[in-house]
Structure 1
């Protein structure tokens, strides 16, 4: 957390992208500061919300149901 902010600010790490965060919503000062950086992108747990991912999940679910019967 705090080290990530330090490295993002000093350029040792060029960017940070994630669909999760340490606290949700962010509450620590370093988290809030990190969210304001141009080289940080946090999505609200939407990484698996593509058509392709949802299709794979549906197929896996159906296969699990079939294989359990």
Structure 2
């Protein structure tokens, strides 16, 4: 993302990337905490939900890199 930013915009692109990462991590922790603290299945559900999201994402990334 930073490499494709227009001339002089790499700093803003890098800042945006870091902000989006932090928001994503915060939302992930909040959702996991809600599963642990709520009545939605406890710790097992809290650990399975991120795994269910990450596994297909990893497959998609792997397929995308194989085409290079």
With normalisation by structure 2, the TM-score equals 0.29
User: Greater Rg, structure 1 or structure 2?
Assistant: 1
State the structure with bigger RCO (CA 8 A, min sep 6), 1 or 2.
1
